[in-house]
Structure 1
Amino acid sequence: MWDSETARRYDAWFRTPPGAFALSREIRLLERMTAGWPRRGQRLLEIGCGTGIFLDVLHGAGFDVDGLDASPAMLEAARQRMGDKADLHLGDAGHLPFDDNTFDFCVLLTVLEFCPDPGLVLCEAARVARKTLLVGYLNRFSCYGLAMRLFPGHTRGPLREAKWFTPCCMGRLLRASLGRRPSRTRSVLLGPKSTWREATPWRQVNSPILSLPVGAFCATTVSLADAPVMTPLPAFKAKACVG
């Protein structure tokens, strides 16, 4: 399913008007969800990196990035995009070829939908990450998800094989796999795909980052540490101590 033609179509979709619109909003959400994470010297693994679109974004944000994918064709496309900016690995998300705590962060974006055992993938991600996981998923209860179920003939490519999650199902899966840990969820793209465009009023409908998981694309961060990982704020007003 994930051959070179699929990789070409995947990248081509993001060059269409609705694809480019969706990508820009998903990137904004990704940037918001990782805004508090430290960057310098922090290793980040994207599991299921595909053609490297989001891996490139994460590298541009300042992380030291690695990518892993089970498809040689997808990985080759990522290698052409990333060059020497990332270490890329061919491997199974359910059996990661890394030692415990190798990375600071792990990111999985629209990956669990295609995994036979998503719980195992989450456990593996938590094993190799020290600080935080970020999971992005397609929302079955969104307008987009509803439209895809009502008009299945319009669904093409790998999405036909995807297992879509509801926010409740994803919450249960995360708790069952990782235990009860601090988490945060946001979403984007409130309307169906036909409204993913820059024209008014659709731009205003689909641009906000929503605090409720009602958009087509949801992202959840799960802290693996005792407290959420945040970049410390410098003490601009601190005064020197005098004896």
Structure 2
Amino acid sequence: MTVALFIPCYVDQFYPKAGIATLELLEKLGCKVVFPREQTCCGQPLANSGMEQEARPIYDNFVKTFGSYDYIVCPSGSCVYHVKHHYDVIEQTPEALAVREKTYELADFLINVLNVEKLDARFPHRVGIHNSCHGLRGLRLGSGSERVGEAFSHYRYLLSMVRDIELVALERTDECCGFGGTFSVNEPELSTKMGRDRIADHLAHDSEVITSGDMSCLMHMEGLIRREGKPLRVMHVAEILNSNG
């Protein structure tokens, strides 16, 4: 299969290691990966700010850019959710419908398309998992505490394959970090308080690393960690799954 790698804006600009780790991990697992250079933003920031009509040319470009590939894989639950659930405002051509169908968040792709059951990775650290809202409640990458049913987590399942890792049990496993894209700009005080609460949960349980499938959430918490000198670091889940210790 040929997999097109879609890299979110903030990963491209601020956290390229997460994108590189995604590429290397997919290649290790036997995928032929390409990076279409015509790709731009998925349009989520505009839409979230009430400018969805202005975002429609971006949506059209996404469909045109990624339409010819077997799968589109992205290391971001929020971007994937936007493509799958908000591209309904453009004409639903066969190409648009196909792109929406074959766009996958990384963990979802590893588990439900590649059927990964083992990984050659080692990461000897105490790791706390942050479940992003879009990934957890939008893409169902894990079970939210408000739902009845068997508990599961795509990230915990994959990370449990990593040698020497110790996954930390948190008090509130599915609470928002407060980022919310432009929410953190429009409501900075509330956003900051929510971020501090999440960081405190990790510190209380001696996490060394906070990981997530959404670098945007990690970026928000990393800003607080750095400014307040907390003994934590953040890493995208792809970096840990691609790590050799």
Larger Rg: 1
TM-score (norm 1): 0.31
TM-score (norm 2): 0.31
Structure number having the greater helix percentage:
2
Structure number having the greater strand percentage:
1
